[in-house]
Amino acid sequence: MMTDVKSPLLHINEQIKSHCERVGRDPHSVQLLAVSKTRTADELAKLADQGQRHFGENYLQEALAKIAALRGRGLVWHFIGPIQSNKTRDIAAHFDWVHSVDRLKVARRLSEQRPPESAPLNLCIQVNVDDEASKSGVALAGVAELAAAVDALPNIRLRGLMAIPRADNDDGNRAAFRQLAMTLSQLRNTMPALDTLSMGMSADYPVAIEEGATVIRLGTALFGPRPPKA
Ligand SMILES: *Cc1c(COP(=O)(O)O)cnc(C)c1O
């Protein structure tokens, strides 16, 4: 057993702190989202025992089982995967955040289906910063219009923007992150309450922090490599 080796969570939290200090940011301005797709409830529980509260899931059925298994621990659940319209009811009922909204129809359904006794659903708009036809996310040119429409919906609290830049940008995705940050800053002229930039994964999160990320989404850096999908 390697019980005396520093845990990945502790290591990452130290990294966040030092990257923040290097660029003069408050370490508390960056929230670590543990991306737990394909991980078991037991693996999540171990991280929760070490103090991790925010978990991000991509697949609804898998997520619902873990949310049920870990109920009562005060965890905060973020949906970060592609959203089909027929999944919105369960997402609206069981999650605290959704990062991956890229069309108004989905936002409307989440708004209508959010249970009245729940707090407003925190929502980020996913932006296709590389303008790749193959990936989800609204094009940069469409962000302002979508944001204004989403912001007007009841039971929704629009928080900001999310992006998954292509993995092979040779600048560590810096230009893509900067573009997303600039887009948020423009939106804040009319929607000053927006406060969230969800960007940066295991391979590029230090650059994302430098460029202003407020939520970084880490999977493999916390849990190790994911098993290949069957
Ligand atoms: C899987 C995933 C992550 C985490 O990726 P890692 O490279 O394992 O850190 C982050 N964001 C989204 C949207 C993901 O699907």
Ligand 1 site-directed mutation target among 80, 98, 136, most atoms within 8 Å of CB: 80
Regarding the domain delimited by 2-223, which CATH topology (the fold level of the hierarchy) does it fall under? TIM Barrel (3.20.20)
Least confident residue range of 4-8, 119-123, 148-152 = 4-8
Q: For residues 230 and 227, give the distance between their C-alpha atoms in angstroms, rounded to a whole number.
A: 9
What atom in ligand 1 is closest to the CA of residue 223?
Answer: 8
Tokens of 188: 């804040």
Q: Please tell me if the CB atom of residue 219 comes closer than 6 angstroms to any atom of ligand 1.
A: yes
Tell me what the mean pLDDT of segment 90-115 comes to.
98
Q: What is the pLDDT of residues 42-97, one digit of tens each?
A: 999 999 999 999 999 999 999 999 999 999 999 999 999 999 999 999 999 999 99
pLDDT reported for residue 1 = 52
With the C-alpha atoms ordered 91, 95, 99, 101, is the resulting torsion angle positive or negative? positive
- Of ligand 1's atoms, which has the minimum distance to the CA of residue 203? 7
Only one residue has tokens 């991280």, namely 47
What are the sequence ranges of the domains in the chain? Answer: 2-223
Are 179 and 202 within 8 A, CB to CB?
Answer: no
